[in-house]
Structures are given as C-alpha cells and as structure tokens.
Chains A and B, each alone.
Chain A
Amino acid sequence: MTETLHATRLVVNGVAHTLHVPARRLLADALRHDLGLTGTHLGCEHGVCGACTVLVDGEPMRSCLMFAVSADGAEITTTEGCRAPDGGLGPVQQAFTECHGLQCGFCTPGFVTTITAYLRENPLPTEAEAREAIGGNLCRCTGYQNIVKSVLRAAELVAPEAAVAPQAGGGLSEGPR
C-alpha cells in the first residue's frame, strides 16, 4: 500500500523545487510541510476562509483545494514571497502593520497574497472597492475595518507616485450626522 510519488516542479517565490509527492497531497501541505513555507495557513480546508490563498501564476488560488501535482510547472507566490526584495516588509505587509490590519495574524497571509494580486489589477481602489477586494477572505479578529484601510494604504505604498484616489468618506455611514 505504498503511494505512488509524482515528480512535481514548483517555482515558489522565485526558487525552483522538484518535489516527489503523492497525487493527493494538497498544495498547501506541500508548501508548508515539504518546503517549510509555513506562512500559508489552513483555516477550513474547504476553500471558504481564504487563509491558504497563494498566487499561482499570479492568480489568487486556494491552496487547500489544489493538489500539488496540479500546480506542476506553476510559479507560486506565498506571503513569504510578498516581502520586499531586501527581505524587509513588502508594501501590503507594511500597510497591515501601519493600519493594525491584523490581530492573531492567522488569516493575514491569505489577505496579503489576495491584496497583492488585486492591486496589480486595480492600483487605486476606492474604499468600497477595497472592501469588495477582500470579500472572499474570513477574519475573526479585526472586523475588517483596518484591513480595508490596509488595502488603501498598500495602494499608496505600491504606487507612491500616483495621486491619492478619491475616497468615499464615511463609507457605509449613510445616517444623519
């Protein structure tokens, strides 16, 4: 009852690896346990919470719903790969620390990867768009308000030369003042 192993090539955060994994091994487990990149976390293992989100060829994917073998040949970015080239904090990570965008930090890597990809598509989101951008990730600690702020701050850090996007002041606050 020995499982067949499959050679799988992954380029993770710019480094090429060849893994020999069973067909059923989840990409998340390959990253965490075979490559030791434990920044990617598993919150639900059924694709709902988004904590395990990594970028596969630039696209946010749930690494708990993908087999490692199905990522063969792909370029993968985890939160470790969202650091600055000098090893310091990348812009999204920096924004989270500035805006108190995390508490326990368990869901944060999934937000970091999701937002990193999002800002490539939409570098100057409004507050409403920022909230929409994180709408597929669960956080149990922050109430999301400071994560929304982090998205906006990250946009400033990613594109410092760009003018600050016009923000809808007050957000959802439509009541009387």
Chain B
Amino acid sequence: MSGRLFGEPIARREDPRLVSGAGRYLDDLGPDALAAAFVRCPHAHARVVDIDVTDALDVDGLVALYTYEDLAADDATRVAEPLPLLIPHPALTEPRTGYPLVKDVAKHVGEPIVMVVATDRYVAEDVCERIRVEYEFLPPVVGVDAARDAARAVHDDVPDNVAAHLVQEVGDARAAIAAAPHTLELDLEIERSASMPMEGKGVYARWDAADASLRVYSSTQTTTSVRFALAAKLNIPVDRIEVIAPDVGGGFGVKIVHPWPEEVLVPWAAIRLGREVKWVEDRREHFISSAHERGQLQHIRVGFDDDGRLLGLDVEFWHDNGAYTPYGIIIPIITSTQLLGPYKPGAYRVEFHSLYTNTVIVTPYRGAGRPQAAFAMERTIDAIAANLRLDRAEVRERNFIQPHEMPYDHQLTFQDGRPLIYDSGDFPASLEKLKKLVDWEGFPAYRDAARAEGRRIGIGLACYVEGTGVGPYEGAHIRVETSGKVVVSTGLTTQGQGHETVFAQIAADELGVPLDAVSVTTGDTRRFKYAVGTFASRAAVMSGNAVALTARKVRAKALRIAADALEVDAGDLEIADGTVRVKGHPPGAAGGEIPLRTVAVLSNPLRYAFDEESKRATQFAVGDASGPPVAEDDEPGLEATDYYSPMQATFANGMHAAIVETDPETAEITILRYCVVHDCGPMINPRIVEGQIHGGVAQGVGGALYERIVYDENGQLLNASYMDFLMPYASEVPTIETDHLETPSPLNPLGIKGLGEAGVIPGSAVLASAIEDAEGIRITRMPISPSDLHHLRLDRARQEHDSTAERGAAE
C-alpha cells in the first residue's frame, strides 16, 4: 500500500457526480409525485377565525386540502399534537412548540395554516391563492427590547416572555470586579442572520400500502432522528419507516431542526392519499418559516489588573429565541460557556434570559451562539487594551490558558450537559503564528504610511475556542464484500463536507486497502439506523473515529480468518493493498498471502455457492468438523459495527486577524487581508480543511458586514429575498490566508478536533476590532454597514463638537 491517506489533500470523490449534473438533490427525486404547497400566515400574531376554501375547490388538479381540523380528526396518529421539544433543559421552564398546522393562534409570519396537495406546484400555488383566511389581529412582540419589556406576550401563559433563565457562576465575580483596580462596562448587540443554504428544505414521501412501509427523503441533517420522530408522530412501527438524505445543498444548522411541520405533513398526506407527495421549500418560505440565529443583547462588566489580566467577568445577555423553542436553549448555553475562549476569566458569572418574540424560530446556524460569544469576549479584551493603552495581542497573551495547564477545567456545564474541560491547544503558539502571518509587529508602520496618503487602515484580532464533537455517539458499519470492495456506512448526514472522501481515507488506512476499494454511505437509515446527526462540528470527530474503530474490528477479524487459512499466527500478518500477508512475505509470491476478498468468502460458511469464488466457502470445501461452522462468539461475514461515544467534547481553537480600510468619504469597508490560524488537531484532508475555513470565513464576513434579518415593528420580515438579504458574492469575500497548528486531542483514537464551524466564529469580533482600529470609534453593534459607520462618525463629530462647546463655555 502506498503510504497513509490520512493527512493527504486528495481530491473529493463526490465531485465528479456533483459538477456534471449527476447529483441527486431532493427535488431531483420523485418526478411523478404530487406537489404540496402551504398557505402561511401573513401576520406575526393572529388568531385564525375562519378558513374559506370555496373558491379553491374547483381548481383543476387539486387533490387535497388539510387544515388543523383534519389533523385533529385523525385519531390514529399524533399529528395534531405540538411538535416535539427536542432538547429539554431544567432551565427551560416555559418551553413552547408549534403545531404542524396552526391550531388557533399563529405566532409568526410564515406559520403554515393550510396544506394543499395538487398535481404540480403551479396548481398547488393557484389553490393557495384562492383560499381566504380570516384573522383576528393580536399585538406582536418584536425584538429583544419588546420581549424584555413584556408589555405584551407571545404566549398568553408566559406573560414575561421568558422561556428560560440560567445562571452559571465560578467564584464570586461581582466581588472580584468590585475589588479590581480597573473596571469597564460594555453594552453589545448582534443582529439576526440565518443559515441560508442554497438548497432550501424539502421532503418527499412514498407510502407502500401493500408492504405497509414508508420511505421518506428529506433534505435534513439527521435522518435517524427524523425516522424516530415520524414513527412517534404517525404511529407506525419504526421498522416500517426509512429516512434518506439524498445529496443535500448545504445545511449550516437549519436542517438539524426536525421534524419540521412539512416533514410530518408530507408523509402523513402520502399515507392518506396513497400517493407520492413532495414539498420543496422556495426561498421566501425559507426566509419566513425556517429558522434564524444570532440576535442577542449583551451587558458585560469586567474587572482587571494593571497588566490587563482578568480578575472578574460578569456577563448578562438576552437571547431572542423567536416564537417557539423546539431546539431548546442550546444557543444561549453555548454563548454563555464558549464566551471564555482561550482565556482564564478570573471569577466568572453569566446569566441569560431566552425570550419569546413573534418571529420565526431561532435555532443553531453555523457557530451556534459562538460568534456572539467571541464578540462579547473579544470586544471586552480590546476595551481593556484600549483602557490601559496596551497592545491588544499582548493583553490576550497575558490571559491565555497555557499549554501546561491542559486539560483546563472551567468548572462550568457545557451544551452537552458535561463539564467544560478543554482537552488540548497551544494558544501562545497559535497567536505567534498569527502575528507572523499578518505581520502584527510591522502593521503600525504600514498604517502610518497609509495615513500619510489619507487612507484609514485598521487591524483586528480575535480568538475563540470551540467545543466540537459532542456526543452522545456515532457509529459505523463496514463490510468487506467478496469482490474485495469495502462498504462503509455511517448514520450521520452530509451537506457538502466531503464525508465520502474523508471517511474513505480513514477506512482505507485502517484496513490496508486502496482508496478506490472503499465506498461510503451517510444519512441513509436503510444502511445505518443509530446516529445523532451532523451539527456542532462533530462529523469527523464522531463518525471519523467510529469508522476507525469499526475498521479495526474488521481488520482483526480478517487477520484471524486469514491466520486460520494460512496456518500462521495472526500477529505475524499485515494487510496492505487489499491483501493479507505474512510480514516480510514478498507480495505476489506463492503462499503466505491471501486477498481480503477471499477472506470475505471464507468468513461466511456456505451451503450454496453463488459464483466461482464462493465455492471455496461451501461445506465440503472448508470447515473444521470438530466445531460448529460459526463459532459461538463469532458471526458470519467480514463485517463489523462499532460506536464511538466520548466522555466529553473536544475543543478546537483558532485565531483570526483582519486588516480593513474604511473610505473617509463613503464609509465603505474593505477587507484588505484576512488571516486564519486554526487548530483542529491532525488534519484528515488539508484541502477539505481549507475549504471549510474559507466557507466559514465568508459567512463570518457576511454576518459582520452585510447580513441582517430585518423585522419591522409589526413582525413583518422586510428583506425575505436574496435581493434584500445581502449574502456575500465573490466581490465581498477577501482572499483568505491560512496557517495551521495541529495539537492532537487526547480524547479520541484519531486525535482529531472539529472544524466545520471554525471559520465563522470570530468574524464579527475581528472585523469590529479592525474597524475600531481604523476609525477610533467604539464598535458595539454588528453587523455594521457603511451607513451605520457613517452615522457613528456623525455621532462622534457631534460629541466632539459638544465637548468643544462645553470647554468653550467653561472657559
């Protein structure tokens, strides 16, 4: 075998299919399926008084119409119940979830009220247009301020709009701050953004009445959990349901939520109608009825010494969770714990309120609370440096957890319910690499030269630590076929991360087979039934290690069978290029070796030969008559299943630096350089690592400078299109320069740490830092547009004018 594949930047194996139009995304399936469309509530808070379908009934091609009454009338299922609360938490004292179709009161624009099934989508939309819904308007609650004021309530039985309230404290932060020689207070705000995968959600269901079985295709980040959820909702034995994620056009978090209303309703309708039914979300539906993230108000108090070392940190923040809490309070928990980044905070107190508003639900979007966390912490560190007139990198370094202090226990509880203990990382080394990459020391001279030309240039820096690879577990199944092909399956799903490539690299290495011999399937419950899903930068850590552990089991079995066949000790054997051979035996020489495909044949004692090769395993060809053909502790087949279930998350980290230029006239903000140092442990495929970082940075830049979900005071989403919600094009994303540190995690067999969310996390923090440096104006609210910056400049000019006037008056 030609060396290790782990660590090689090999080209992705999924790409030839995807570039040539041979990918199979959700809407590429089921060409003959009926199409579903939905009448959605156009109001943020309204009681449904009447639904009049009279005009809709004579539309040619209409097949069925469903309202909540139809769900309620179906006693055989549980579709009329609220959607599940996926992640309960003791602090989430007032959880609320919606119904698949609005039961009585709609709580945000976009909630589905009527489901229409028709011969095609055009007809289904025609029908929707002819349905008249009468509403009684209720006053909406929009924005954190309104939710906090609680003059009005989203849910009648939650008058203060507080879904959850959680405090964590280590030491006495308030006392530490009171006793500190220096203190600062900051008020910060991050606005809403959204995952916005290029492919929206979609569901396609096929009910086989004769077989009493349901097959559901969903553009989801978790097929196994959708399967269990459907079994529960539809009251069908789980063994009669299979859920498959076809090629998925991006997820970034929004597709981990499940079951969506449509994910319940489409299979339910397919069963009722005995017909294939498909629903493909359009872009407007995605904006108004999927999920958003990020919106938080933060108040920070910090105490520090003369050197800028943190003595106490007291953070309170208010998190806008939208109208419902199906995904629990994972985001604010992550914000509250990951806020600490690579630093020792001294005493730490964090308190959050998670608040209801009449807006679409807030669930994880790549980064999942961490961009807000990094913004809070990094703005604080910058403020300390400015206060003491110290170098920003120096203040960071002084507060770093040192490599010899790993594992470092923050004595907090993380999002997985387990202790927040960092396992690895070398923060000083990462910072050193970043300073070198961006030329931190050389920047002042560069800035001065630029200023002499009338240009405004600033540099920023931001660090983060990211808990990745949370449990509970992932598993894998690997089978060596009698052709020698190695078939790998894992239950978690893929939305473009390149799992077909990296899991094959791991399996090929562990088994000693060529990469071409390995095929990988993800997210298909027909192939693997127990999994959690793809989120929290966990796929490589969880399924990667599960694949490695499983391959090791298969390898051990192959060696045992080969040892019997070759009449040698298994310890004297190795596997290379798909052949088991005695160590030192010249490849190809007679005796002393056996191909894995033959081992696969021998692993399955046969009565019936199905081809030439399998004759070798029939009852008159092999077998030791002194024992049973399959030993008591053995099973047929050269295959195995294993699981990886870690004690806790593994913590990756990274640091970004950016140089920006702000136009003195137009306030346009241009990123001149963007540098990333990242530590995800040993890289399985550096090419894929780089790609993940690039994509994350692009979303970080979008979140910092362009993307802003805008609701008006009535709860209308004003920019529900790509025309108005500004995702970056190529012209907005800078060239990204990367360097890597690879400190292995001691927690898993491959030593790897998660990566997927990394690039996005410090985007707002680093760009705020750089803009602040260029402008000399405090940046406390992101995203920031040229117009925002212009207004900040006007505010400053006014303040300067006022203070000059005051001084003049005093004189």
Contacts and interface: CB of A to CB of B under 8 A. Distances in A.
A161 B510 CA distance: 43
A140 B737 contact: no
A103 B197 contact: no
Interface string B8-49: 000110111011111111011001000000000000000000
B21 A109 contact: yes
Contact of B196 (A97, A140, A172, A177): A140
A146 B738 CA distance: 13
Residue among B18, B443, B497 with the highest chain A CB neighbour number at 10 A: B18
Contacts of A141: 198, 250, 496, 691, 695
A105 B283 contact: no
Interface in A25-73: 25, 32-33, 36-46, 48-49, 51
A80 B21 contact: yes
Contacts of A9: none
Contact of A89 (B16, B199, B438): B16
Contact of B733 (A2, A24, A144, A177): A144
B721 A40 contact: no
Interface string A83-110: 1000001100100111010111111110
Given A38-B24, A98-B11, A104 B672 contact: no
A40 B688 contact: no
A134 interface: yes
A48 B287 CA distance: 15
B730 A135 contact: yes
A2 B438 contact: no
A145 interface: yes
A140 B250 contact: yes
Contacts of B698: 140, 142-144
Interface in B24-76: 24-25, 27-28, 31, 58-60
B727 A140 contact: yes
Interface string A125-150: 00000011011111111111111100
B572 interface: no
B730 A131 contact: yes
A142 B729 contact: no
B495 interface: yes
A176 B695 contact: no
B16 A39 contact: no
B23 A131 contact: no
B722 A32 contact: no
Contacts of A166: none
Interface string A141-177: 1111111100000000000000000000011111111
Contacts of A136: 729
B735 A171 contact: yes
A97 B247 CA distance: 17
B21 A176 contact: no
B252 interface: yes
Give the residue among B58, B688, B730 with the most A Cβ atoms within 10 A: B730
B16 A105 contact: no
A145 B736 contact: yes
B672 A173 contact: yes
Contact of A39 (B11, B22, B671, B722): B22
Interface residues of B, number: 69
Interface in B724-755: 727, 729-731, 733-737
Contacts of B688: 100
Contacts of A33: 31
A156 to B, nearest CB: 16
Contacts of B735: 145, 170-173
A123 interface: no
B174 to A, nearest CB: 42
A52 to B, nearest CB: 11
A105 B697 CA distance: 18
A171 B198 CA distance: 27
A106 B27 contact: no
A49 B722 contact: yes
- Give the secondary structure class of A's interface: loop
B249 interface: yes
B137 interface: no
A1 interface: yes
B198 A43 contact: yes
B445 interface: yes
Contacts of B694: 142-146
A119 interface: no
A10 interface: no
Contact of B439 (A36, A80, A96, A175): A175
A175 to B, nearest CB: 4
A170 to B, nearest CB: 7
Contacts of A138: 198, 722, 727, 729
A44 B23 contact: no
B731 A135 contact: yes
A89 B19 contact: yes
B729 A104 contact: no
Nearest to A39: B21
B19 A96 contact: yes
Nearest to A138: B727
Contact of B199 (A45, A106, A135, A173): A106
Contact of B729 (A89, A105, A135, A177): A135
A40 to B, nearest CB: 7
Nearest to A175: B673
B282 interface: yes
A41 B250 contact: no
A96 B19 CA distance: 7
Interface in B491-508: 495-498
A37 B21 contact: yes
Contacts of B442: 176
B439 A176 contact: yes
A133 to B, nearest CB: 9
Given A46-B283, A100-B690, A24 B737 contact: no
B373 interface: no
Given A45-B282, A105-B18, A109-B21, A140 B699 contact: yes
Contact of A143 (B22, B24, B697): B697
B589 interface: no
Nearest to B283: A44
A109 to B, nearest CB: 6
B21 A78 contact: yes
Nearest to B11: A97
B271 interface: no
Interface string B187-227: 00000000011110000000000000000000000000000
Name which of A24, A93, A134 has the most chain B CB atoms within 10 A of its CB.
A93
B249 A106 contact: yes
B687 interface: yes
A105 B14 CA distance: 9
Nearest to A174: B672
B659 interface: yes
Nearest to B121: A29
Contacts of B729: 135-138, 144
Contacts of A140: 196-198, 250, 252, 695, 698-699, 727
A102 B11 contact: no
A93 B737 contact: no
A139 B198 contact: yes
A45 B280 CA distance: 12
B250 A97 contact: no
Name the residue in A106, A136, A143, A148 with the highest tally of chain B Cβ atoms < 10 Å from its Cβ.
A143
A49 B446 contact: no
**Residue among B15, B24, B250, B443 with most chain A CB within 10 A:** B15
5 contacts: A39-B20, A41-B199, A80-B21, A109-B21, A140-B698
Q: 4 closest A-B pairs (Cβ-Cβ)?
A: A39-B21, A104-B496, A106-B249, A105-B18
Interface of B: 11-12, 14-16, 18-25, 27-28, 31, 58-60, 122, 196-199, 247-250, 252, 282-283, 438-439, 442-443, 445-446, 495-498, 659, 671-673, 687-688, 690-692, 694-699, 721-723, 727, 729-731, 733-737, 759
Given A32-B28, A93-B19, A103-B692, 6 more contacts: A39-B21, A48-B721, A103-B497, A107-B198, A131-B731, A140-B252
